[in-house]
Amino acid sequence: MSPLHQALADYLAVRRAMGFKLDRAEKLLGQFVSYLDERGAATVTVEHALAWATAPRAASAWWWAMRMSAVRGFAGYLHTVDPHVEVPPAGIIAYRRQRATPFLYSAADVHALVEAATGLPRPTSAVTYPALVSVLAVTGMRLGEAIGLDTSDFDEDAGTLTVRDGKFGKARLLPLHPTTTKGIRQYLRRRSGLHRTHVSDALFISTAGTRLDHSCVQKTFRRLTRQAGLHPRSAACRPRIHDLRHSFAVATLLDWYRQGQDVPALMPRLSAYLGHTDPKHTFWYLSAAPELLTLAGHRLHTYLDSRP
């Protein structure tokens, strides 16, 4: 192991002890350190950092900045023990990040995705992916949280799922609708019929019986969207697996408005269920759908008319 790779291992260990996951940073910085080793560079310089960050020429400025951000953190750590290490200045790669427009799935869209998943060629995938897509759609979980679930996190009697390692290391308990509880129970029974030997403790498993891989799930989901006939609605609005989470949040808010509920008072509940650290992140969904804006506008109009 080269000195830089050892320094990287130490850096990741220190940051993770502080509660950071750094999965993406570990992958990027591993590539960066290998880049330096190949060029015989003993330390980090701004020149090398900029050359590596912008190496994928077809990538966006946002992705370049993301790569540079990982390097800056590592370089800052190295600089504390070696003043010769150059820390790239903040903003060295300018970019303007545009938030993707959520692809809001209808109930028919979700049904089409589940149907497409049942047709996957491998038996385990044809059982696992319908269950995974369904759970994501009805709980609004992040994909990483769903992949991280163990079978022990499912309490059939209580009808709950426990997310133990959510974003920022936060855990939360998700009450399930009885139909969801039944669906997970059926999935586990069918799964056990396919894998009679010991498999991973993961709730959702791969064809090898191991925990699902994030990138493989993304690739399979893109395949399912095509088979389900779901196409981009614009350059900024394409069907993504994360949009199942957006769709859950928007559908919940729509239901509350149509039922005449006190939405601001209920918003903290939705924030807690989604695992948001701040309700302001949940309020963003109010602008995610024209229907929501219309209902909110009607509510405001009624309120203003009632004032003396």
- Which sequence positions are flagged as catalytic? 142, 167, 242, 245, 276, 285
The residues, any chain, with a CB within 8 Å of residue 264's CB and separated by 6 or more, are: none
Is residue 267 within 8 Å of residue 296, measured between CB atoms?
no
- CB within 8 A of 57, min separation 6: which ones? none
Phi then psi dihedrals of residue 110, to 5 deg: -65, -40
Sign of CA dihedral 54, 59, 64, 70: negative
Q: Please choose, from the candidates 221, 31, 22, 265, the residue with its C-alpha nearest in 3D space to the C-alpha of residue 130.
A: 221
- Determine whether 151 is exposed, middle or buried from the number of CB atoms within 10 Å of its CB (0-12, 13-18, 19+): middle
Whether the Cβ atoms of residue 30 and residue 8 lie closer than 8 Å to each other: yes
